[in-house]
Each structure stands twice: as C-alpha cells, then as structure tokens.
Amino acid sequence: MARMKFICDSERCIECNGCVTACKAEHNVPWGVNRRRVVTLGDGLPGEKSISVACMHCSDAPCMAVCPVDCFYRTDDGVVLHDKDVCIGCGYCSYACPFGAPQFPSNGTFGMRGKMDKCTFCAGGPEANGTAAENEKYGRNRLAEGKLPACAEMCATKALLGGDGDVVADIFRTRVLTRNKGSEVWGWGTAYGKPAGGAKK
Amino acid sequence: MRTTAAAALAAAVLLAACSEKPQDMAHSKRKSDVPAWQGANNAYVEPGWKVGDAASWEKQVNTRAQAQNEYARINAGAR
C-alpha cells in the first residue's frame, strides 16, 4: 500500500513560490489562507536555503491527537484529512502542528475564524470523490483522478517531490548519489547547523 | 377563521427559534471516506488505469511519480 509523502530538496528550491500558486489555483484557496508556503532561512545571505512547507501528513499526527471533536482521519494511503462539517474551528490543531499547516480563513463582519483548512495532498475530503461538494469544501481530488499533488507536479526545479514515500525517497537518493551532496533534506542540522563541540545538549 | 390563522402564524413566528439542532453523537461524527483508487466522479480522471482497482491505481501514481525523476526521463530519452 502506498504511503504518501512530500520531500523538499533544499539544494534545488529557488523560492519561486510556484508550488504555492499551483496549490491556490488548483483548489481555489481563499484569500488569506496558504495551504503551502515557502520558508527561507538566512534570506539574502550567502548559502540561504528555502523549502516548501505544507501539511507533512504525519504518521503520528499531533493535530489528530489534540482535536477535541475527532474530525481528522487518515486514509489507507497515509494522507491526513479532516471533515469540515465536524470541525469547530477551535484552533487546537494549529497550536499542535509543528509545521503551521492548519489555516483558518477570516471572514464575516468581525473577521470570525472559520473552519480549519489545510493541505489535503490533493485528496479532497470525506465527500464523494471528484464531486462539486468535495471541490467546494476541500478542493480538487487529484489522487482519485490518478494524479499527484499539483504543487509537486508543477515544481519547475523538481525540488518538491510528492508521491509514495518509497518512490520519492528513491528519486531523492539517486539525486544525492549523483551530485554527491545535500543528503540532509531538511532537519535540525540544515536549519541550525551542527552542534558546536562541547556544547550542552 | 382569520383570527385562528393569524394566531397560528404568530405562534409559528414566535416558536421558530425554539427548535434545536440534534446534538447526539450520530450528528457530530465524521463521515466515512472512500479510497482514492475508487476514482473520481468527473471527467478529469487520467486514462491508463482501471478505476476501482487498487493495484492499478498504485501503479498509475508510481509511474506518474517518475515524471519527477529527471534522471529516469533523460535516460529514457537517450535510449
């Protein structure tokens, strides 16, 4: 069974925001909500690095753990989705998520916080696959159309890879072996550097 | 007759806010989803795989994922 994952290759990301635009266009994401965004560390300095971040569809998702109304579910393909008809817009998932994936549209007269919206790995929601009802609430269901997420497929430099974890890991491994650097993907070492000798952990 | 109708209308208007949404667990439970390999109910389904066949869908997405692997694409073109 496939286990859907994203990998972003920080050696390739050029901060073009094509993935962000592709996502917004594909799903008609409302103004103020970004299911995906590009984060740059050391912006403007030599050696700056960028990665594209969205919901990572965690295997042990903190959002699922903290949701008081249990609106989240995980598909057989490892995609973390939620039911907007059950979501109460409390924001707990937003506090729990280490990636800032859950987004809340502000609308209405008083800018009221709406129901949570996040990356669906282009897999829609609990409504019938590919229907207008699903599209209106969650956006397009590309997985059910036999496609992969628009952000990854549209990435010009192929920095953002999306698909079955084993397949995208193989693609990334081939790259690293060919270019002989940049195996760290993104993590503590990339973001903060290696710990200094003798420093307390 | 007119008085009765007016009374009924007034009662309907006054009691309109007295209804209550069901709050039992059945109404606050998330809906079940169907897997992606069941296909989408629209005209944008990619050809080349059998809707409703999990193995066929998995093969389709894994083949499509190779479009992200330019090493495979370049080598395929060189052949």
Tokens of A179: 């270019």
Question: Is pLDDT of B16 > 80?
Answer: no
Contact B62 A127 (CB under 8 A): no
A31's CB contacts (< 8 A; 6+ apart) are none
* Structure-block tokens of residue A132: 């207008």
pLDDT at B31: 87
Rounded CA gap, B66 and B69, in Å? 5
Q: Is B75 on the interface with A (CB under 8 A)?
A: no
Give, for A21, the enclosing helix (H) or strand (E): helix A18-27
Whether residues B60 and A146 touch (CB distance < 8 A) is answered with: yes
Structure letter (DSSP) for residue A141: B
Element (H, E) at A113: strand A112-113
The confidence band for B20, taking pLDDT boundaries of 50, 70 and 90, is confident
The Cα of A201 is separated from the nearest Cα of chain B by a number of Å equal to: 38
Which of A90, A79, A155, A151 is CA-nearest to residue A120? A79
What average pLDDT does the segment B42-55 reach?
A: 94
Domain covering A4-192 in this structure, CATH number: 3.30.70.20
Percentage with pLDDT > 70 across chain A: 89
Q: Chain B: nearest CA to A179, how far in angstroms?
A: 11
Quick one: which H or E segment has residue A49? strand A49-53
Residues of B in contact with A52 (CB under 8 A): none
Flag if A71 and B30 touch (Cβ within 8 Å): yes
Higher-pLDDT residue of A183 and A82 is A82
What is the token pair recorded at A63?
């959002």
Tens of pLDDT, residue by residue over A64-117, are 999 999 999 999 999 999 999 999 999 999 999 999 999 998 876 666 778 999
- Closest Cα of chain A to B78: distance in Å? 17
Residue A7's DSSP bridge partners are A161
Nearest chain B residue to A174 by CA: give it.
Answer: B71
Spatial CB neighbours of A154, under 8 Å, sequence gap ≥ 6? A18, A19, A22
- Inform me whether the pLDDT recorded for B79 exceeds 60: no
**If you average pLDDT over residues A21-27, what whole number do you get?**
96
Residue A11 Cα, gap to closest chain B Cα (Å): 15
Q: CB contact, 8 Å: B38 with chain A?
A: yes
Q: Where are the alpha helices (DSSP H) in B1-79?
A: 2-14, 54-65, 70-78
CA dist A166 and A3 (Å) reads 8
What are the strands, taking DSSP E only, across chain A?
Answer: 4-8, 37-41, 49-53, 72-74, 80-82, 106-107, 112-113, 160-164
Q: What is the pLDDT of residue B27?
A: 64
Residues A111 and A92: their CA atoms lie apart, in Å, by 19
Kindly state whether B23 is in contact with chain A, defined as any CB-CB distance less than 8 angstroms: no
Is the pLDDT assigned to residue A8 strictly greater than 80? yes
Q: Domain-by-domain residue ranges, chain A? A: 4-192
Distances (CA, A) of A67 to A56, A78, A121, A139: 17, 18, 20, 22
Q: What is the percent of chain B with per-residue pLDDT over 70, rounded to a whole number?
A: 84
Distance in angstroms (rounded) separating the CA atoms of residues A135 and B40: 11
ipTM: 0.87
Distances in Å between the Cα of A133 and the Cα atoms of A136, A139, A146 are 5, 9, 19
